[in-house]
Structure 1
Amino acid sequence: MSGLGARILDWLGFGSRDHAVHGHDHGSGAHGHTHGVIDATIATTDRGIWAIKWSFVILAITAAMQMVVVVLSSSVALLADTIHNIGDATTAIPLWIAFILARRKPSPTFTYGLGRVEDLAGIVIVVIILFSAIVAGYEAIERLINPRLVTHLGWLTAAGIVGFLGNEAVAVFRIRVGREINSAALVADGYHARTDGLTSLAVVIGALGVWLGFPLADPIVGLLITLAIFGIVWQSARSVLTRMLDGIEPGVIGEIRHAAAHVPGARLVDAKARWIGHRLHADIAIAVEESLPVSEAKKITTALEAELFEHMPALAAANIRFASADAGHRHGHAHGEHDGHRH
């Protein structure tokens, strides 16, 4: 295949890539074991970039088609929807940059890598959505004060339907891929696109109101769309800030407890977890019988590690340590961080 053809396929996400295989030894002696696995970070970020590229293309085409009808019809409702679709397409840019940066290997400064840049991208996305809401709101209020004749109602209706279909396609795409790679930013953006689709249908309602002889229906719908966008701003900001403050879903700790319950001899004392990008890192303290030999205690931690990765595909690393039963005292032995990757 020609170099240009290969680059095109690579851009679309279908090109071949050499996924690095790495092995690392955990511990020594009887506990020593080696994992040789494909680094899941490469696969997931490639998949994320692929989703973002196609989302951008679909929304850009949708917004361009709607903008033509905005010029023809002078509809402020469609203008608000188009501004939001343009803003939504623009959100692909910070997400794209974030996924690319997340692929960089850890460094002496960023020892966990740059996965957290996805949270920063989420903040940028919230700001973009907020800006689009302010612009759309201003235009809607201005049109309420200074009404203008809305024409080409048939085209206006068609543009609203196109906006709904384009956004729903992007929503399904982003949510599906976001769940595959455990990216909160991508899933949130998918639900955001789904809400956009519903606001696009509101444009059709506005066109119907104008057709029935109520010209203010168009700017009123534009204002309602603006309020919906502000709602998305609040929802997205809350989700992103939760991740940035190391918040996790309640079910995560429940899964850790469930995994620990499957390991005889291990009693969970404490469990903490946080997301770094779309990868989960856990710190776990367990209590075992103090009379157990060190080799047997290590077998328990190995079994627990296996259960954790089995129950939690998004888990990237588990740091397991021994603690006293009352969690008030640590025993001096620490089970080093086991870095495992899942597809």
Structure 2
Amino acid sequence: MATDGAESGQRGFTRAAVVNVLGNAVKIVVEGAAGWLFGSVALLADAAHSIADLIASLVVLIWGRSSYDEPDDTHPHGHDRIEPLTALFVGAIIALLGLNLLYESAQGILHGVEVEFSPLLLGALAFSIADMYLVYRYTTVINEALNSTALKALAVDCLNDIYTSFAAVVGVVGVLLGQPLLDPIAGGFVSLLVVYQGVEIGRENVDYLIGAAASPEQRAEIVDALRSHPDVQGVHDLTVFYDGTVLEVEVHVEVDGDMPFRQAHDVESELVDRVRDLEDVGDAHVHLDPSGIGEWKERLDEH
């Protein structure tokens, strides 16, 4: 059974994912209807873009919340890697959509666009921008406590939706002013931003999935936390890597070799707690060595 903290986190994650699903669904209906009525390629493209966003948010809702499940017989180390895998999927969707938007923008520049102006087009876009901003803010507020990479990816996708809607506004205003080419030009600039953000989301979450090493700053923080204990005389063989979105720490610590066993046990427990209390650390495994025997002298020197 999940702990109270895990259950609370899963509920918050689920609420945020549901809000993203509903926000995208409403945006699709409003923009799709206005685009179809007045022949706006910009609005129809933006609505089509949101269909993929809807799929991505459904995947996060169905799949991503499994990361809060407790370890079981089939996943003894928990389900932490499900979340970055879900975020990686969202990042890939964002990048592919950006490339598609870039292609559509190029086609519009080369072949031109035809659209009938109506104030309802601007009204639909204004509604969509407000809709996505509210979903973005809600997702961001919920994620302040959860620090979920999947929700972070959805929040970035909401911002992308806002950018693409503004590009569509430029296009509609361009039609009003007799400059319809403003639509594909603005769309081209926005699509490049969308591709960049999708690639960045993917790069970050690939690191989580393949167990990438921690940064030098994170390693130094862990060593400092260990060495600040009064009974620690040295630190060596430190390994820090990502297990999902949290860091796993394995380290050997040198203490007085004549220390009583019960005291050594208490020191080890205190060191584990110190490391686990650091930001981004999920678990720590500390092995105590007697100081002065020199078996680690040819290994990683972090004395």
1:208 equivalenced with 2:173 (yes/no): yes
**Who is 2:59 aligned against?**
94
**Deviation larger for 45-54 or 161-170:** 161-170
**Who is 1:170 aligned against?**
135
SS at match of 2:187: helix
**CA RMSD, Structure 1 to Structure 2 (Å):** 2.9
Paired with 1:147 and 1:191, the residues of 2 have a C-alpha distance of 30
**Who is 1:24 aligned against?**
none
Paired with 1:165 and 1:327, the residues of 2 have a C-alpha distance of 63
Mark the CA change 1:206 to 1:324 in structure 2 (over 3 Å): closer, same or farther. Answer: farther
Residues 69-109 of structure 1 show CA distances to partners (whole Å, capped at 9, x for unaligned) of: 22133333333333333222221122123234334443444
TM-score (norm 2): 0.82
1:328 equivalenced with 2:293 (yes/no): no
Equivalent in 217, 234, 247 of residue 199 of structure 2? 234
**Could you tell me whether the CA contact under 8 Å between 2:64 and 2:150 is conserved in 1?**
no
Residues 273-298 of structure 1 show CA distances to partners (whole Å, capped at 9, x for unaligned) of: 44444554332332222232222222
Q: Structure 1: which 5+ runs fail to align?
A: 1-18, 21-37, 330-343
**Who is 1:55 aligned against?**
20
Residues 142-189 of structure 1 show CA distances to partners (whole Å, capped at 9, x for unaligned) of: 333332332234223233333322222222222333342232222133
**Could you tell me whether the CA contact under 8 Å between 1:74 and 1:151 is conserved in 2?**
yes
Mark the CA change 1:105 to 1:170 in structure 2 (over 3 Å): closer, same or farther. Answer: same
**Could you tell me whether the CA contact under 8 Å between 2:92 and 2:199 is conserved in 1?**
no
* Structure with the larger helix share: 2
1:264 equivalenced with 2:215 (yes/no): no
1:143 equivalenced with 2:111 (yes/no): no
User: Which structure 2 residues correspond to residues 294-313 of structure 1 after superposition, within 5 A?
Assistant: 294-312=261-279
**Who is 2:250 aligned against?**
283
Mark the CA change 1:285 to 1:79 in structure 2 (over 3 Å): closer, same or farther. Answer: farther
Mark the CA change 1:87 to 1:163 in structure 2 (over 3 Å): closer, same or farther. Answer: same
Mark the CA change 1:58 to 1:132 in structure 2 (over 3 Å): closer, same or farther. Answer: same
**Who is 2:301 aligned against?**
none
Equivalent in 195, 210, 219 of residue 245 of structure 1? 210
SS at match of 2:219: helix
**Who is 1:156 aligned against?**
121
**Who is 1:319 aligned against?**
285
Instruction: Report deviation, 1:57.
Output: 0.9
**Could you tell me whether the CA contact under 8 Å between 2:92 and 2:202 is conserved in 1?**
no
Instruction: Report deviation, 1:61.
Output: 1.0
Q: Structure 2: which 5+ runs fail to align?
A: 298-303
**Who is 2:300 aligned against?**
none
Paired with 2:239 and 2:140, the residues of 1 have a C-alpha distance of 26
Mark the CA change 1:55 to 1:252 in structure 2 (over 3 Å): closer, same or farther. Answer: farther
Instruction: Report deviation, 1:55.
Output: 1.4
* Structure with the larger strand share: 1
